[in-house]
Amino acid sequence: MEEYNAVRDYLLAQDQAGALAPFKFSSLISLERYSPPKADVLAYLDQGAPAPPRAARADMVVEKEDGSLARIAVKVNLPSPSTWTRVPVIEGRDEVFHQVLGITAAEHTTPMREMVTEMVNGPLYEIITVIYEGASRLANNCTTKCMGLRQVGPHQVVIPEAGDRSKFDVYSTFGLERRLPGVDGGNTRAFQGSYLHRLSHITFDFHTLAEGGPKLVGINLMGTVYSTVEDVLAAWNDPANSAWREWTIPMIDSQEDALYATFQPRPGSTRSPDKPLAAISFDPYGARYKIDRNKVMWMGWELELAESKRGPKWYNIIFKGERLAYEISHQEAFAAYGGHDSGLHHTQYYDGVTYAQGYRGSEMVPGIDCPLNAAFIDSFQALGGGGRGRIGRRAWCVFEYDTALPLLIHDFTPGVGGGGVRNTALVMRTKLTIGNYDYIQEMQLHLDGSMHVNAVLSGYMQGSSYVPTVSQLWGNQVEVGMGSALHDHTMNWKVDLDVGGRSNQIEMDRVVPWRFNDNANRLWTSKKLDKMISQTEFGMNMNPATPMKLVVQSTEKTNKWGTPRGYAIHSTPHHQVYPHDDPALASFAWTKYNVAVTKFYDGEWTSSLEQDDIFPGAPALNFDSYLNGESIVGEDLVLWVTSGTYHIPHSEDAPVTPTTHGNKAGFTLIPFNYFDENAAMDVSDLFTADGTVPKAEKPLPMIMKWANDGACVPSYENVPSAFA
Ligand SMILES: [Cu+2]
């Protein structure tokens, strides 16, 4: 943290002294550890070359002489900053354009809030008080049935001509929300489950052009947009719309009024009150992992944890003395919404570049977020980039867990033999809480050399009114008048594997039908493999109708059987449904592919850049520029893996989204001809059936061994039935 603050202060002092000329410092985008060139790091790790000097990388917005803004990046020496040098922002580009909205809250947000308040408290109040049963007028220090005003989603910007940011058009939508009178006079949304209290039976749409203040362009009532307050009143009073008066939402005066959105116990009986504690995990001989600062070691594995603005990173992943991956890092968590109000259907969140999710690791609770036998690691969080850093307590946990599914198994028939290997895994987990949402991000290492990278979703949905006959197109009802809106969670990881060294290639093993005539001239249908080496960079989608395995292979090393050593990747298939000719896709082009493969460049370090979220269609970085036809045979390769899920809101999403409902994104890397046999045959918890122990007692040896060795184990006298 001292270093972070020192670099920040040093750069500000440099700017004050005019040393950044011709640039003038404007703001800090990020300040992180500088990643030295990979070749230098490998020379140090593998060949005894000197360690590359430690340094920090600062990405800054600077003002140029002509007044325009640009993004540059500098490297600053550590631990005591005294020099800085420019480094490329992204491969081949020392500077990229940078644009902010250039309008202040006073010019933009304040007038919109005032206009909405005037309409809600004035001509529309009769409608409001009917729909939102008895709602008070918008006011400070509200005492009953309180409402607040809030913007729906982020501002969205349309640029009519690519690159011409002087002609932008900002879309903003405002709506109402329920507030609690007891909390700050009903002024804030600081109460449990407030995210599920957003009201959108009526919302207000504005456009702000580069010149001129915001203009009201529409009022959305019950899913239909009207141009003026008069049109809204006419529609409300039209007898054809009389049903609207029944589509009401009760206001809340206490937390109990909205139990559905809270973790408070529900009325009625509790399940299993006499045995309130479920199965727990423990390490009978003590932890088998070791943690040394950010380095984690376990059962032949070692790697280093790091955090970045975009999410967790795992570096230098080694198994049984060989490097499998140089870097696996989370890049972006993208969520694009649909909904009956324009705030929702314009909403696209970039939780990495915009909300710095990597710095939002929230404190994890032993026994809830991670098992009781987990070790916890604090993290450094540089929120906001320009602000001072802070320590995130218990932001990571590390633990070995019993998957309760054998890794290898065959029947233990006495005299015949068989055996098994228990499947335990080492988990390194962090939980990123970004506003309403929680992303549990983890890496799991297995005894056989497999790696899983998971992002599991929980937390509150972004609430929305449930308007009968309208909202069903975007979800389901979760409470009286309340719902949420359809959205996706699309995530991207950078996967820099080094399989048997840096010289790699991609083999696609497709399973294809094979028809043939036998000697009796009968037609048979079977199947075979169509193996192909990919020649140039590509992005592709997995299709269950054309099954295939994508294997990263060494072009230099084979296993004992002469097969190129390899690692295969399985990802949870997820497709962005936007048509590929949609101009906004330029800002999140990586969502088009399950997997893209590129040749490694130090400068191609990320798949998205800051600010490209609010100016879709004219990004500073279009990921497709990485896919420029270079050869990928015998090269150092990077896989850009996209996985995710569609979130269709349903009633069991209240109070929060459960981790069981398939809300899981991620991928698995499995050894594929990398070893000569399964790599887990050397572990101590291998069972061999030797024919001397009766079958019924087979689970016993390990438990007995623990007891005989006097290791600290729970009292098994209390649970004899399972093993008797
Ligand atoms: Cu969701």
pLDDT in the model for residue 723 = 32
Ligand 1 centroid to Cα of residue 487, in Å, is 6
**Bigger pLDDT: 346 vs 146:** 146
| Mean pLDDT, range 614-621, rounded to an integer | 79
pLDDT of residue 552: 98
Pairing verdict, β 249-250 and 132-133: parallel
How far is the C-alpha of 112 from the C-alpha of 106, rounded, in Å?
Answer: 10
pLDDT of 114 > 80? The answer is: yes
Query: Measured in angstroms, how far is the CA atom of residue 456 from the centroid of ligand 1?
Result: 10
Which of these ranges, 146-160, 262-276, 546-560, has the smallest mean pLDDT? Answer: 146-160
Residue range 82-91: mean pLDDT, rounded: 96
Q: How many A from CA of 644 to the centre of ligand 1?
A: 10
Note the pLDDT of residue 385: 47
Is residue 316 within 8 A of residue 45, CB to CB? The reply is yes
Close Cβ partners of 657 (under 8 Å, ≥ 6 residues apart): 457, 458, 459, 460, 461, 647, 663
Q: 454: closest CA among 319, 549, 330?
A: 330
CA of 539 to the centre of ligand 1 (A): 26
Percent over 90 (pLDDT), the chain: 67
Query: Of 313-322, 430-439, 680-689, which gets the smallest average pLDDT?
Result: 680-689
CB-based contacts of 611, cutoff 8 Å, min separation 6: 98, 99, 100, 353, 620
How far, in Å, from the CA of 662 to the mean position of ligand 1? 11
Rounded to whole angstroms, how far apart are CA atoms 21 and 31? 20
How far does the chain reach from its first CA to its final CA, in angstroms?
56
Task: Write out the two tokens for 202.
Answer: 């009526």
> By three-state DSSP, how is residue 642 classified?
strand
Cα(625) to centroid(ligand 1), Å: 30
Compute the distance from residue 458 Cα to the ligand 1 centre, in Å: 8
Q: What band does 314 get if pLDDT is binned at 50, 70 and 90?
A: very high
Contact 541, 593 (CB under 8 A): yes
Q: How far is 328 from 499, CA to CA, in rounded Å?
A: 14
| Residues 386 and 28: beta-carbon distance below 8 Å | yes
Give the pLDDT confidence score for residue 711 in this predicted structure: 46
Distance 477 CA to ligand 1 centre (A): 15
Residue 338: predicted pLDDT: 92
pLDDT band at 305 (very low <50, low <70, confident <90, very high): very high
- Is the bond preceding residue 671 a cis peptide, omega within 30 degrees? no
Q: How many angstroms separate the CA atoms of 491 and 349, rounded?
A: 12
Distance, CA of 337 to CA of 648 (rounded, Å): 10
From the list 216, 229, 200, the residue with the least C-alpha distance to 123 is 229
More confident residue, 500 or 307: 500
Average pLDDT of every residue of the chain: 89
Residue 167 confidence class, pLDDT cut points 50, 70, 90: low
Q: 192 alpha carbon to ligand 1 midpoint, in Å? A: 18
Rounded distance from Cα 490 to ligand 1 centre (Å): 10
From CA 197, how far away is CA 176, in angstroms rounded?
Answer: 9
Tell the CATH topology of 105-261.
Answer: Nuclear Transport Factor 2; Chain: A, (3.10.450)
pLDDT of res. 353: 84
Cα 467 to ligand 1 centroid, rounded to whole Å: 20
Measured in Å, residue 598 CA sits from the centre of ligand 1 at: 30
The CATH code that applies to domain 2-98 is 3.10.450.40
Residue type, 136: S
Listed in sequence order, the DSSP H helices in 24-68 are 38-47
Residue 645 alpha carbon to ligand 1 centre in Å: 8
| CB atoms near residue 246 (< 10 Å) | 9
What is the 661 CA–ligand 1 centroid distance (Å)?
A: 11
**pLDDT band, very low/low/confident/very high, at 160 (cuts 50, 70, 90):** low
**416 or 713, higher pLDDT:** 416
* Predicted pLDDT of residue 345: 83
> What pLDDT does residue 598 have?
98
CA of 349 to the centre of ligand 1 (A): 11
How does residue 507 score in pLDDT terms, banded at 50, 70 and 90?
very high
* Burial degree of 715 (CB within 10 A; 0-12, 13-18, 19+): exposed
φ/ψ (deg, to 5) at 398: -130, 130
Cis amide leading into 655 (omega within 30): yes
State the distance from the centre of ligand 1 to the C-alpha of 466, rounded, in angstroms: 17
Q: What is the CATH number of domain 307-501+537-681?
A: 2.70.98.20
Residue span(s) of the chain under CATH 2.70.98.20 come to: 307-501+537-681
Ranges of CATH 3.10.450.40 domains, the chain? 2-98, 105-261
pLDDT at position 580 is: 87
pLDDT at residue number 724: 30
Q: How far apart are CA 480 and CA 249, in angstroms?
A: 6
**Phi/psi of residue 581, each to 5°?**
-90, 5
The amino acid sitting at 55 is: A
| Selected residue with higher pLDDT from 347 and 267 | 267
For residue 489, report the distance from its CA to the centre of ligand 1, in Å. 6
Contacting residues for 41 by C-beta, under 8 A, at least 6 apart: 52, 326
Name the band, by pLDDT with cuts 50, 70 and 90, for residue 101.
Answer: low
Span from the CA of 306 to the centroid of ligand 1 (angstroms): 26
Residue 701 predicted with pLDDT over 60: no
Q: How many angstroms is it from 83 CA to the middle of ligand 1?
A: 45
The residue-averaged pLDDT of 642-657 equals 94
The residue-averaged pLDDT of 274-283 equals 85
Residues 70-85, mean pLDDT to the nearest whole number: 95
Alpha-carbon gap, residue 180 to 148, rounded angstroms: 10
**pLDDT attached to residue 102:** 66
347 alpha carbon – ligand 1 mean position (Å): 13
Phi-psi category of 699—alpha, beta or left, where left has phi over 0 and alpha has psi -120 to 50?
Answer: alpha
What's the gap in Å between 434 CA and the centre of ligand 1?
12
Residue 687 predicted with pLDDT over 90: no
The model's pLDDT over 19-60, given as tens digits with 9 standing for 90+, comes to: 998 999 988 888 999 999 999 999 999 999 999 999 999 999
pLDDT at position 388 over 90: no
The pLDDT value recorded for residue 386 is 53
> What's at 431, amino acid-wise?
K
State the pLDDT confidence band at 352, using cuts at 50, 70 and 90. confident
3-state DSSP assignment of residue 277? coil
